[in-house]
Amino acid sequence: MEKGLFLFLAMVSFFFLSPVEASSSSRPDITVTPSKIGQGEISLLSIERKGAEPEVTWMGKKITLVADEKNEILSGFIGADLTTRPGRYKLKISRADKANPHSIVISVLSRDYGIRRLTLPREMVELDADTLKRVKEEIRVVRELFIRPAGSSLWRGKWIRPVAGTVISPFGPRRIINDEERSPHSGVDLKAPEGTPVKATNRGKVALVADHFFGGLSVFIDHGGGIHSMYFHLSQAFVRAGQLVEKGTTVGLSGCSGRATGPHLHFGVRLNGGRVNPINLIEISGRLER
Ligand SMILES: [Zn+2]
């Protein structure tokens, strides 16, 4: 095939097969973009504001919606945990006045994030009894943050990158450390030389600042509406629990505290407790104003 023609066809197929397909709903006042969700991914839900307040449920959890500036569109995120079983799930929408309940079937697709093999010093992997006890307690405290009632949304508009650096270790792969399977990588590692200011990805309330065995000096922000963000391996934290932070507030400085082989920022997001790709949230939220 002629080179020019091939290039043309490649471009055409790229545009038509673009993974962010427009939304799909028999109801023009409700859109879900993209219309299918991969494991560990997010979709943006938009509902026209008319009549009684809509109530949205996804995988048994109420989805909190935020109004745009003109108060015409309500937006929220629905997502699938890294290990949600692929299949078809119902997004249920009802109104307070019970008029016109509606549901949309949304597919969760399987995603292969691959496997990452790591070799780490034995003392970082094989934990003694005291360290194991410490780690279990830290896991319990963090889990508690995610199961607290969602509260009203504090976040507004687009989500931003906490540091400018590129992704040096992606979201999702299963991790085999010193030949043993461990938890998958549930955030992204962003390039950040020691001492880089780390910014809050959106508005929220600091839920926890702690020094954890794996995450090192860590900041957790509760953005309300069931969304949390977390920043690990910091060298310094400038915020304390309970403090309200605006989008872009410097919450600390990057470093390599905890189990890190060099300075970087581990950035993670939970959506209703589900482990989702934070870069996906930033990209999907780019459709929102502000
Ligand atoms: Zn990481």
Instruction: Please give the distance, rounded to the nearest whole angstrom, from the Cα atom of residue 154 to the centre of ligand 1.
Output: 26
Instruction: Please give the distance, rounded to the nearest whole angstrom, from the Cα atom of residue 257 to the centre of ligand 1.
Output: 12
Instruction: Please give the distance, rounded to the nearest whole angstrom, from the Cα atom of residue 25 to the centre of ligand 1.
Output: 36
Instruction: Please give the distance, rounded to the nearest whole angstrom, from the Cα atom of residue 190 to the centre of ligand 1.
Output: 8
- Segment 258-273 shows an average pLDDT of 94
The top-scoring range by mean pLDDT among 12-26, 138-152, 266-280 is: 266-280
Residue range(s) occupied by CATH 2.60.40.1590 in the chain = 19-109
Position of tokens 């673009």? 18
Asked if 47 contacts 93 with a C-beta cutoff of 8 angstroms, the reply is yes
Tokens representing residue 284 in the block? 């999907």
pLDDT(15) > 80: no
Instruction: Please give the distance, rounded to the nearest whole angstrom, from the Cα atom of residue 53 to the centre of ligand 1.
Output: 39
Instruction: Please give the distance, rounded to the nearest whole angstrom, from the Cα atom of residue 20 to the centre of ligand 1.
Output: 26
Instruction: Please give the distance, rounded to the nearest whole angstrom, from the Cα atom of residue 214 to the centre of ligand 1.
Output: 10
pLDDT band at 19 (very low <50, low <70, confident <90, very high): very low
Instruction: Please give the distance, rounded to the nearest whole angstrom, from the Cα atom of residue 123 to the centre of ligand 1.
Output: 18
Instruction: Please give the distance, rounded to the nearest whole angstrom, from the Cα atom of residue 267 to the centre of ligand 1.
Output: 7
pLDDT (tens digit per residue) in 121-155: 887 778 889 999 999 999 999 999 988 877 789 99
pLDDT(226) > 60: yes
pLDDT(239) > 60: yes
Instruction: Please give the distance, rounded to the nearest whole angstrom, from the Cα atom of residue 170 to the centre of ligand 1.
Output: 8
Q: Dihedral (C-alpha) 218, 219, 224, 225: value to the nearest 10 degrees?
A: -30
pLDDT of 16: 41
pLDDT band at 4 (very low <50, low <70, confident <90, very high): low
Instruction: Please give the distance, rounded to the nearest whole angstrom, from the Cα atom of residue 280 to the centre of ligand 1.
Output: 16
Beta-carbon neighbour count of residue 185 at 10 Å? 21
Average pLDDT over the chain reads 88
Lowest-pLDDT range of 61-70, 117-126, 160-169: 117-126
Position of tokens 């410097």? 250
Q: Of residues 251 and 286, which shows the higher confidence score?
A: 251
Tell me the sheet residues that pair with 36. Answer: none
pLDDT (tens digit per residue) in 173-220: 988 888 888 889 999 999 999 999 999 999 999 999 999 999 999 999
The top-scoring range by mean pLDDT among 4-18, 41-55, 196-210 is: 196-210
Q: Rounded to two decimals, what is the model's pTM?
A: 0.87
Helix, strand, coil percentages (3-state) for the chain, rounded to 5, are 15, 40, 45
pLDDT(43) > 90: yes
CA 124 to CA 53: how far, in whole Å? 50
pLDDT of 178: 87
Asked if 273 contacts 228 with a C-beta cutoff of 8 angstroms, the reply is no
Instruction: Please give the distance, rounded to the nearest whole angstrom, from the Cα atom of residue 101 to the centre of ligand 1.
Output: 41
Pairing of strands 167-169, 188-190: antiparallel
pLDDT(160) > 90: yes
CA 251 to CA 94: how far, in whole Å? 38
pLDDT of 26: 55
- DSSP states of 137-170 as a string? HHHHHHHHHHHS---S----S----SSSPPEEE-
The dihedral region occupied by 59, where left means phi > 0, alpha psi between -120 and 50, and beta the remainder, is left
The top-scoring range by mean pLDDT among 104-108, 115-119, 143-147, 151-155 is: 104-108
Start-to-end C-alpha separation, the chain = 46
pLDDT of 27: 66
User: pLDDT exceeding 90 applies to what percent of the chain?
Assistant: 67
Per CATH, which fold does 115-285 belong to?
Answer: Glucose Permease (Domain IIA) (2.70.70)
CA 227 to CA 260: how far, in whole Å? 25
pLDDT of 209: 98
Instruction: Please give the distance, rounded to the nearest whole angstrom, from the Cα atom of residue 260 to the centre of ligand 1.
Output: 8
Q: What stretches of the chain show up as alpha helix (H) in DSSP?
A: 3-16, 122-125, 129-147, 278-285
pLDDT of 88: 97
Residue range(s) occupied by CATH 2.70.70.10 in the chain = 115-285
Architecture (CATH level 2) of domain 19-109 = Sandwich (2.60)
- Segment 39-58 shows an average pLDDT of 91
Q: Dihedral (C-alpha) 9, 15, 16, 22: value to the nearest 10 degrees?
A: 180
CA 206 to CA 163: how far, in whole Å? 18
Instruction: Please give the distance, rounded to the nearest whole angstrom, from the Cα atom of residue 268 to the centre of ligand 1.
Output: 8
Beta-carbon neighbour count of residue 211 at 10 Å? 13
- Segment 19-24 shows an average pLDDT of 43
